[in-house]
Amino acid sequence: MHRVVHRPVRDVAAFALLIACLAGLPAYAAPQPAGIADGIIVTPGGGFALATDAPPAPVAFGGAGRFGSFISDALAYPHVFDTLRVAYETRVPRGAQVALDVRASADGARWTPWVVDLAPGATARFDQPARFAQYRVRLLATGDTPLLRSLRLTPERSAPSFTAFENEPPPVAPTFTVHATRLGLVGRRTANGHRIVKRDRFVALPCVCVLSSRGGSEYMVRITHNGRSVVAPVYDVGPWNTRDNYWDPQEKRYFNDLRQGWPQDHAAFFEGHNNGRAQHGRVRFPTAIDIADGVWWDDFGIKGDRAVVDVTFLWMGRDPLEQAAQPQSPPEMPPADASPAPSPADAPPADVPGEEGQERGG
């Protein structure tokens, strides 16, 4: 992972952005982007390609081929916006993938979830006013490298006024009770490039939309179990899905036929949703959060590889522990031992031996 910084070009780009906005043409086009590159090189024309030494793809993204990501520095705009329109060009050889994600922030510190897999010409709409934006490029290849170039972000303002939003205090972050599994996988790389160490402290959630940057803390959860509570960052994706934002209101969920707080893999296992299958195959055991060993063993002292925990999604509002809020649990949550032991042949592709012979989600 390395930082790409081109300060003179960034100064020129910032001045050009200001002129464009004053002219009524809000837009951003970075001829030479600056940000954090991991397995990606920035071409002289401002495009993105995989480095020759890009690392293997994380399990969450298939585990095959080479993978790289680039997260831009925060882009500051002189006007408020609630929509970003993206434009770019790609070259995608056989066996390659290109993905572009964007997010927004009012203060450059607290960020919305990523809006993922935006096609050229697509728009991303945000619920709150923003003045900052970031984009994330993800490239994967089993052969020749893909290329993303001519990237342009155009901020737009569709809401007539944000005064009411700006004056409202942030809501209390929601808490839901879900089945959890121990992560293991010591020595492997997570979806954000973090190398897992013994007694590590982070979690995996089943949506790339809340994947923190490598070493970052943009998306944190509070996990509570048997009277103990700990906060940890989201560094990985999975195990059963990569786009299940089950913590969001139903109308905003990717699986919008499921109620808020009810994970798709739980619905598949307990209710036969999608014929009992998730993105990574038939669900043989429910788990909506994977928890690294340091939290699982040292903080909670859990014996075995499965448990039921309360999870608070802290990027969504104030910490309910400070507000003395009560957890919101889906009705009639089955006990942790209600499901049979998973069959290794039917477990998600993420299942590989972890520390002390245990398996992720096993």
The pLDDT tens digits for 148-170 are: 999 999 999 976 655 545 556 77
- Give the tens place of pLDDT for each residue, 106-143: 999 999 999 999 999 999 999 989 999 999 999 999 99
13 vs 238, more confident: 238
- Give the tens place of pLDDT for each residue, 214-226: 999 999 999 999 9
- Give the tens place of pLDDT for each residue, 4-14: 544 333 433 44
Q: What is the DSSP string of 224-288?
A: EETTEEEEEEEEEE-SS-SB--TTS-GGGSSSTTS-TT--HHHHHHHH-GGGGEETTEE-SS--S
Say whether pLDDT at 29 is over 80: no
Q: What is the mean pLDDT of residues 321-340?
A: 54
pTM score:
0.81
- CA-to-CA distance for 10 and 30, rounded, in angstroms? 8
- CA-to-CA distance for 53 and 350, rounded, in angstroms? 23
14 vs 206, more confident: 206
pLDDT of residue 324: 55
pLDDT of residue 158: 79
Strand partners, 135: 102
